């Protein structure tokens, strides 16, 4: 009876304070449960969303600077341990050995190839190759001669040339006869001799002029 009377005698403000504390406690508990739930969901998804605050930016810059300094220190340490100068004795020795090995291998390869591919002067293959080369040169010379003959002597069998040749033959025969009888008799300068000589000189001069004019216009 006393407790009930005490409860009945409680003011409305005291009841409100108790209810408010209970409500706040329930709200905090709900927020905690919701946070845990969201965290577990984000963890299962494999990522978490973090706000890019100024403090986080400063921390990231500091970490990057530390990493860069550490990288340079490691690089300098490795360079001092592993780097070799081009003029060092080890490098020069290795270069000389490599050059000698390459030269020896080249000579060995050359000797092997020489034994397989070099032919003696009297080998059938070598003789056959020389004959083919000579035959080809001869055929090429003949073909070149035929081309030049048709190019530079187009009137090789012309009537004018035949007439000149005939006159030259007559003149040569007359000169031969004169020389043959010179020790014994003297042949007079007959009209036939003079005409043959004249025809020969005129024909030669005309032919020379004709060929000169033709070659000049080319």
What is the mean predicted confidence (pLDDT) over 163-185? 63
pTM value is 0.18
Which pLDDT band, with edges at 50, 70 and 90, does 85 fall under? Answer: low
pLDDT at 189: 61
Tens-place pLDDT, residues 102-132:
777 777 777 766 665 555 666 676 677 777 7
Angstrom CA distances, 164 to 71, 153, 175, 195, stand at 104, 15, 16, 12
Which pLDDT band, with edges at 50, 70 and 90, does 1 fall under? Answer: very low
| Cβ count near 27 (within 10 Å) | 10
The encoded tokens of residue 62 equal: 């500091």
What is the mean predicted confidence (pLDDT) over 177-185? 53
Which pLDDT band, with edges at 50, 70 and 90, does 3 fall under? Answer: very low
């Amino acid at each position: 009876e006393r407790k009930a009377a005490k409860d009945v005698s409680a003011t409305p403000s005291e009841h409100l304070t108790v209810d408010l504390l209970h409500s706040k406690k329930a709200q905090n508990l709900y927020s905690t449960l919701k946070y845990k739930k969201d965290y577990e969901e984000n963890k299962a998804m494999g990522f978490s969303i973090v706000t890019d605050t100024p403090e986080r930016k400063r921390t990231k810059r500091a970490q990057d600077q530390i990493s860069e300094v550490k990288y340079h220190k490691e690089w300098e340490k490795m360079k001092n341990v592993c780097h070799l100068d081009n003029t060092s004795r080890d490098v020069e020795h290795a270069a000389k050995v490599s050059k000698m090995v390459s030269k020896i291998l080249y000579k060995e390869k050359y000797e092997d190839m020489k034994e397989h591919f070099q032919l003696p002067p009297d080998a059938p293959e070598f003789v056959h190759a020389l004959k083919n080369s000579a035959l080809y040169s001869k055929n090429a010379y003949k073909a070149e001669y035929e081309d030049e003959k048709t190019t530079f002597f187009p009137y090789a069998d012309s009537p004018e040339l035949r007439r000149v040749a005939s006159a030259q033959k007559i003149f040569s025969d007359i000169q031969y006869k004169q020389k043959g009888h010179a020790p014994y008799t003297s042949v007079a300068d007959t009209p036939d001799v003079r005409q043959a000589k004249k025809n020969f000189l005129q024909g030669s001069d005309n032919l020379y002029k004709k060929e000169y004019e033709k070659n000049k216009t080319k």
